[in-house]
Structure 1
Amino acid sequence: MINVSEQPVQPAPRSLIVTLYGAYGRFVAGPVPVAELIRLLAAVGVDAPSVRSSVSRLKRRGLLLPARTERGAAGYELSDQARELLEDGDRRIYADAPSADEGWVLAVFSVPESQRQKRHVLRSRLAGLGFGTAAPGVWIAPARLHEETRNTLRRLDLDVYVDFFRGEHLGFAPTAQAVARWWDLAALAEQHEAFLDRHAPVLRAWERRAGTPPEEAYRDYLLALDSWRHLPYTDPGLPARLLPANWPGTRSAAVFRALHARLHEAGALYAGVSVPARRL
């Protein structure tokens, strides 16, 4: 098991660029100039060479497209695929508390031995979407993840290998016990605790302040969002009644919501964009 709390706190530049576009860059009218990307990433400790190399990698993956601004400056805009990925991410990152009785979606797949690499990719993607393993070739997640999972597998041309089913768990083991078997709850809790260790002190510091300076708000919000946005994928938002008492995911979600409410709009001033209000 990877001990998240022992990993370096400094986020990867490529991840921060994706986070920047998700939080602010997609609301820019036209491409974001390269010079502006360098300015905005410098505020969170990323130097210019790292920005350029990370942008190149995102360009090769088809997520960023080179374009010119109205004034002729070189810049980058999101591809249609990237926009769809960010919209899928919004439904996770800014989700309400999960319903107690939404049911489950099952993904059952069979991949020919001659295409075993696709089997590996399929397993990796289902795990990355927050699915747990109910049995070999049978993956399970809260039912609300069905649409996003369908979109993801279609983008990867993996949908032909998968059947989806929706239903409820009827036993024999109590559902809370089954959930503890399908997901590694200890590892998920550790990731939430790591988020709290890094960002709960930031929230407490802001709660003691009267003003919200835009540059500081931008920096703290971008770093918090970059940490938080991965959690709703590893932890799919399981119903609270099925989780251990004092589940840290409840506290980490509350910290992120409070940081978002305090910092997001002020950070937009530093980023030079107008963002839609998103109340959590």
Structure 2
Amino acid sequence: MQPQDLMLMLFGTYALDEGVCLGAGGIIDTLGRAGVSAHATRSTLSRMVGRDLLHRRRAGRKMYFGLTERSSAILRDGRARIWHDGAVNDRWDGTWTLLSFSLPESMQRERHDLRSRLAWSGFGRVQGGLWIAPGRVDAAGIVSSLGLKAHARVFFARAEETTDIAELVGDAYDIAEVGARYEEFLRRWDGAQTTGAQTTGDPLAERLRLLAEWLDAIRRDPRLPVEHLPTGWPAARAQKVFRALAEAYREPARAVAGDLLETLPLSSPG
């Protein structure tokens, strides 16, 4: 796991919607338990401040870090994906969202940002600038938030009966790669205490790793309808393992975090 992934899981669990900043010392100690060096943690904090994901606050001789509006929105989106949407789409109504866009070569960064947002939202590329996603997705909101409304068109549609959905899905998505992520997650976490997986026995570190690895597993999953997935698709079993372990670690991790993390209310004077 990258230090930033663990950092986001830490802030998403103990700072998001809590109205607090986290002390630098506790952050360093916590990520140290997960195998991140103090130097790497400090560098990650600085980079995240530079990317408008965290802001610094000084109180006396101590430094604290809080979430920005941007990172809070990212974490709320991730929280909804993890706990509300889930990894299994068994309530599909047959609708597809289609997005067509065309960007000039001079807008390579914007193209990269758009593709990243589309992949997170379940889109796959059919051909050229035509992307699809199952269900009704707020594609207009995505392109508008990136300032690209003038370059895109959004449609909602249903496939005609003669359309080979299996072929369409195979063209737009790398199903094997998505499935491999869930299989890797299961190898790491399913029966972690009996299969030889390397665990530290530290509930806080383990829960942060668990959350970060699960988010990595679902990050590129378009949540395709179950009827268009291979037999024995591993997402449901992986989700069951994740939720059971997340709940088992929850209170022990919170107790450890309570001893390690020093907080500063957002409303406190700097």
Superposition pairs for residues 1-280 of structure 1, below 5 Å?
11-26=1-16, 28-69=18-59, 73-94=62-83, 95-96=85-86, 97-102=88-93, 103-143=95-135, 146-147=137-138, 149-202=139-192, 216-272=202-258
Instruction: Report the TM-score when normalising by structure 2.
Output: 0.83
AA aligned opposite 1:178: L
The number of residues matched between the two structures is 252
1-side partners of 2:106 and 2:7: how far apart? 37
1-side partners of 2:50 and 2:235: how far apart? 35
2-side partners of 1:204 and 1:141: how far apart? 39
**CA distances 1:31-55 after superposition (whole Å, capped 9, x unpaired):** 1000010111111111211110011
Query: Offset at 1:195?
Result: 0.9
Q: 1:152 to 1:15 in 2, by over 3 A?
A: farther
Q: Unaligned 5+ residue runs, structure 1?
A: 1-10, 206-214, 274-280
Would you say the 8 A contact 1:100–1:241 is kept in 2?
no
Q: Unaligned 5+ residue runs, structure 2?
A: 196-200, 262-270
RMSD, matched Cα:
2.5
Query: Offset at 1:224?
Result: 1.0
Q: 1:113 to 1:73 in 2, by over 3 A?
A: closer
2-side partners of 1:121 and 1:245: how far apart? 33
**CA distances 1:101-132 after superposition (whole Å, capped 9, x unpaired):** 23221111122355355334433432344311
AA aligned opposite 1:112: P
2-side partners of 1:80 and 1:112: how far apart? 30
Would you say the 8 A contact 1:105–1:165 is kept in 2?
yes
2-side partners of 1:118 and 1:53: how far apart? 26
**CA distances 1:51-86 after superposition (whole Å, capped 9, x unpaired):** 1001111111000000135x6621100001110111
Query: Offset at 1:245?
Result: 0.2
Instruction: Report the TM-score when normalising by structure 1.
Output: 0.80
With 180-189 and 49-58 compared, the bigger mean Cα shift is at 180-189
Say which structure, 1 or 2, has more relative contact order (CA 8 Å, 6+ apart): 2
Would you say the 8 A contact 1:109–1:163 is kept in 2?
yes
With 194-203 and 264-273 compared, the bigger mean Cα shift is at 264-273
2-side partners of 1:174 and 1:263: how far apart? 44
Would you say the 8 A contact 1:67–1:76 is kept in 2?
yes
Following TM superposition, the consecutive aligned residue runs of length 4 or more in structure 1 with deviations greater than 6 angstroms are none
Q: 1:35 to 1:131 in 2, by over 3 A?
A: same
